[in-house]
A = this chain, B = another copy of it.
Amino acid sequence: MTQPESVNAAAGPGRELPDVSALVVGVLGGTGDQGRGLAYRLAQAGQQVVIGSRTAERAVAAAEEIGLGVRGADNAACARESDVVIVAVPWDGHAETLTALRAELAGKIVVDCVNPLGFDKQGAYALQVPEGSAAQQAAALLPDSRVTAAFHHLSAVLLQDASLERIDTDVLVLGEERAATDVVQALAERIPGMRGVFAGRLRNAHQVEGLVANLISVNRRYKAHAGLRITDI
């Protein structure tokens, strides 16, 4: 049975993940809370990070605020200069942003972390997506990219809280290609406290994205910044 110790182990059993320390990571939507938080954590872990935004000026401003060698560029330049590109744009701009970057993202590992959610008086709820999920939409729009999905359940508040040295949580990583999901798992594990856990193919991304609505309910009820751990691995 799972003991607390194993929950906090740096890596799961028998896994050898690739060395990703030399990869340049782009963060599209890096001026938003989630993107900014991920850029900060990855840069702090020693990763080269490029923040992308619609205008280079906003991206440069956000990058300078973070420091740690983070650069800023417009989305197209961010995609071109990066080996791995995290998509952290609002769901509203998801399809449009990716459609415009098809050429720049060709051949790259794309990490979709977008959660299609609606909000009303009763809180958050998962939206229906024609393609099934944000990640499947990305895969449909980017046939020449290696599309994965990850980083959905991280609290933007915790990511940006510089007083926290660790964020003890698991990052569920989905995708069709083992080499690509291994890279994303390794990237997650650069951040102290995080484990990258393979959690299925993109056809099972909808519920992973939608679960953020449940975590928002948890946060409301318990005044928390909830995350996930997978037990028994």
* Cβ-based interface call for A125 (8 A): yes
Whether A226 and B217, one on each chain, are in contact in the complex, defined by CB atoms closer than 8 angstroms, is: no
Is there an interface contact between A233 and B228, defined as CB atoms closer than 8 Å?
no
Judged by a CB distance under 8 angstroms, whether A17 is at the interface is: no
Chain B hits for A230, CB < 8 A: 215, 218, 226-229
A172 / chain B contacts, CB cutoff of 8 Å: 214
Q: CB-CB < 8 A to A216: which residues of B?
A: 200
* Interface window among A30-38, A88-96, A97-105, A203-211: A203-211
Residue A227 contacts which of B155, B221, B224, B232 (CB distance < 8 angstroms)?
B232
Q: Number of A residues whose C-beta is below 8 Å from B?
A: 56
Is B222 touching A226 in the complex (CB atoms < 8 A)?
no
Bound Cα distance from A9 to B137, whole angstroms: 40
Ranked nearest first, the 6 interchain pairs of A and B with the lowest CB-CB distance are A200-B217, A207-B210, A4-B4, A207-B207, A229-B229, A227-B231
Known: A126-B204, A200-B213, A206-B207. A233 touches B222 (CB 8 A): yes
Contact yes or no, A214 B199, CB < 8 A: yes
On chain B, the residues within 8 Å of A198 by CB distance are: 217-218, 221-222
Report A152 CB to chain B, min CB distance, Å: 11
CA of A224 to CA of B7, assembled, Å: 13
> How close is A14's CB to chain B, nearest CB, in angstroms?
8
Central interface residue in A13, A206, A231, by most chain B CB within 10 Å: A231
List residues of chain A with CB under 8 Å of any chain B CB.
1-5, 7-8, 12-13, 122-126, 155, 158, 164, 166-169, 172, 174, 193, 197-201, 203-204, 206-211, 213-218, 221-233
Given A2-B168, A200-B213, A200-B214, A226 contacting B233 (CB threshold 8 A): yes
A217 touching B231, Cβ below 8 Å = no
Between-chain CB contacts (< 8 Å), 29 pairs: A1-B158, A1-B166, A2-B168, A4-B4, A4-B7, A4-B8, A4-B168, A122-B203, A123-B201, A124-B204, A198-B221, A199-B214, A199-B215, A199-B217, A199-B218, A200-B214, A200-B216, A206-B210, A207-B208, A207-B211, A207-B213, A208-B211, A210-B210, A224-B233, A226-B230, A226-B232, A227-B231, A229-B229, A229-B231
